[in-house]
Chains A and B, each alone.
Chain A
Amino acid sequence: MSTTYRAIDWNRQKRVYDGTLGGLLALGLGLFVGISVLVSPNITVETLLIRGSSVSALLLLHVILCIGPLARLNPRFLPLLYNRRHLGVTLFLLALLHGAFATVQFHALGDENPLVSVLTAYGRDYRVFADGRINLPHFPFEPFGVLALFLFFLMAATSHDFWLRNLGASFWKAMHLGVYLAYGSVLVHVALGVLQSERGAIFPGLLAVGFVVVAGLHLAAARKETRIDRGKPLGEADGYAETCRVEDVAEGRGKVVLVAGQRIALFRHQGRIHATSNVCRHQGGPVGEGRIVDGCITCPWHGWNYQPEDGCSPPPFTEVLETYDTRIQDGRVWVRTIANPPRQHCAGTAVTAT
């Protein structure tokens, strides 16, 4: 919950995370280089670098895209999500290595500026229709790599919470959804590039499997979310909406419910039920899937804290989550459909033994 641009705290878990990332990268790159040299003894160092970095980058991109939905489906994946920023920055560095080497190798030392040549060497290939035929197999592939690299750069450069703050959460979020555009761009880059030169079904096959896994996980996660949203409407009376049973909210735990079409987080802390917005002020994580830790609601994504009584982050932090009045009626939790004024103290509703 940093409010200023300061050095990132380094703790043991972060070191373990980065060490694991480094180890997996070394494993992938090492295997790639070793096997390439075996099956292709004439391969050059430049080609090994270009291909090794791009293959690792593409794999890492798939991991990054899968972690989000996996964590929504099963909290066991949350430890992979916490430092996802490091994955994004690493992805950018790998993609930069690949793009820079490819640009130097294929464009430098010629009669045109390499950065211009990347886009212009293909000349008339940009015409989608040529001679009444579709020109796709000849359509330039490198510009799609350039676009993806640019997007990875934007996201890596703004990944620190400082930028999340300064750009505003919704703009930041929208910009970081650019990862899907970048993914699409990389798929086109590979399909129009290396797939036009390499024969055999293995490369298109792997890309297709990757796409199906990414898309499938996103659909499954979305399905789980909409199951909450599609819950059958319960009672509504004098500004309160009926939600779950009291027993559904265990002590120290949260639960996501639907109130007037909106997801709300319920928590039970020291025998009292509290209701807050489900959208974390940090990156919009699902607060209701969190826990009470040391008396504070704790977001499952990066552990931001909010006090259940007023939705405020404990000092010195200044974030505020909306709170809602609650009441208990016939063993069910009812939540007021209109939020309390920010920071207003709200004691919650005591659960009496039933």
Chain B
Amino acid sequence: MKDDFYIGYQDQSPPSLARSTRRLVVALAMIVAGITALVAARQSPAEPGTFEFGVKRSFEGVLQENPLPMLRSVSPDGAVTNYLLVGAGKHGLPAFARGHDGQRVRFQGTVIQKGPGVLVELNDPESFLVLGPSTAAENRAADKSIGEVVLTGELVDTKCYFGVMRPATGKVHRACAVRCLSGGVPPGLLVRDDQGGAVVVLLSGPNARPLRFDVAWAARRVRAEGRLTWRGSFPCLEVVRLSLADSELP
């Protein structure tokens, strides 16, 4: 019996103890495997979306700074694409791209995409070129007005939502959304329907100004009232009234 007393600094553990220790380790391995497998299997699946981190593409078009920073690009065949523009990290349109409203520009940037919505991260100041004033054809508004609506949903930051972050919504992401919105990333309203569908509506203020709002409302349910317009693949709401939804605390 003296055998099965364990002394850690000895080189060998007594054989009977070694056997029972091996059994313990096997049991522990089964517990570890079972629990990690269960937790991994039951996490809710990450949303789709791509962030072409480290990849740069060339873009050319008309820069629109307000109310939402966008690039309108007209391809040779006349197709118009609107890109929503953000800065590197947790920032909105960078300083080097500001002050060129309505001008033709060319730059290199990184694509962030979810579904039909494409964002471009402007992360290369050297590549940014102002080519001159835009043509009348480029300026023809291709927006489609829908009308007055009242929408309720989660206030999100568009950069994370369209592909940079998983999760990009809810409480675990709230602090990040606060940082991004406070850094000037355009706000969006994540509206869900009963069928599990979801769409993000870009939010702007009245009179072609950016939306003024409290970043502490990030990741909270808010109610937005205003005029809805499709600009390319982005639904945009010119907000006249914004409040926390009734279900939320102040």
Contact = CB atoms under 8 A, between A and B. Distances in A.
B98 interface: no
A202 B174 CA distance: 23
A105 interface: yes
B33 interface: yes
Given A106-B173, A109-B88, A303-B7, A31 B45 contact: no
Contacts of A20: 25
Q: Of residues A23, A111, A142, which shows the largest number of chain B Cβ atoms within 10 Å of its Cβ?
A: A111
Contact of A28 (B36, B48, B175): B36
A39 B5 contact: no
Contact of B5 (A9, A36, A300): A300
B249 interface: yes
Nearest to A56: B36
Interface stretch (B9-17, B62-70, B132-140, B145-153): B9-17
B216 A76 contact: no
19 contacts: A13-B10, A40-B46, A41-B45, A41-B46, A42-B166, A44-B165, A76-B17, A77-B24, A78-B6, A79-B17, A80-B21, A107-B179, A108-B89, A109-B91, A111-B179, A112-B182, A121-B176, A124-B216, A137-B171
A101 interface: no
Contacts, number: 191
A291 interface: yes
Contacts of B232: none
Interface in B82-99: 88-91
B42 A202 contact: yes
A63 interface: yes
A27 interface: yes
By size class, the interface of chain B is: 35 or more
Contacts of A31: 33, 36-37, 40
B7 A293 contact: yes
B197 interface: no
A284 interface: no
Interface string A48-63: 0001000110010001
Q: When A and B form their complex, which 4 residue pairs have the shortest distance between CB atoms, in order from nearest? A: A109-B89, A82-B8, A110-B90, A110-B179
Given A28-B36, A44-B166, A47-B166, A105 B176 contact: yes
A47 B51 CA distance: 14
A23 B9 CA distance: 21
Contacts of A194: 172
A197 B172 contact: yes
Nearest to B89: A109
A43 interface: yes
Contacts of B2: 252, 291
Interface of A: 9, 11-14, 20, 23-24, 27-29, 31-36, 39-44, 47, 51, 55-56, 59, 63, 75-80, 82-83, 105-112, 117-118, 121-124, 130-131, 133, 135, 137-138, 140-142, 192-194, 196-200, 202-203, 206, 252, 290-291, 293, 298, 300, 302-303
Contact of B43 (A80, A192, A198): A198
B171 A117 contact: no
A35 B249 contact: no
Given A13-B13, A27-B33, A298-B7, A123 B39 contact: no
Given A110-B180, A202-B42, A303-B7, A55 B171 contact: no
B49 A42 contact: yes
Nearest to B9: A303
B38 interface: yes
Contact of B45 (A28, A40, A80): A40
Nearest to A133: B249
B89 A206 contact: no
Contact of B171 (A13, A108, A193): A193
A276 to B, nearest CB: 17
B28 interface: yes
B6 A82 contact: yes
A14 B8 CA distance: 8
A117 B175 contact: yes
A43 B35 CA distance: 20
B171 A141 contact: yes
Contacts of A252: 2
B94 to A, nearest CB: 12
B240 interface: no
B5 A291 contact: yes
B45 A75 contact: no
Nearest to B35: A59
Interface string B215-250: 010000000000000000000000000000000011
B106 to A, nearest CB: 25
Nearest to B165: A105
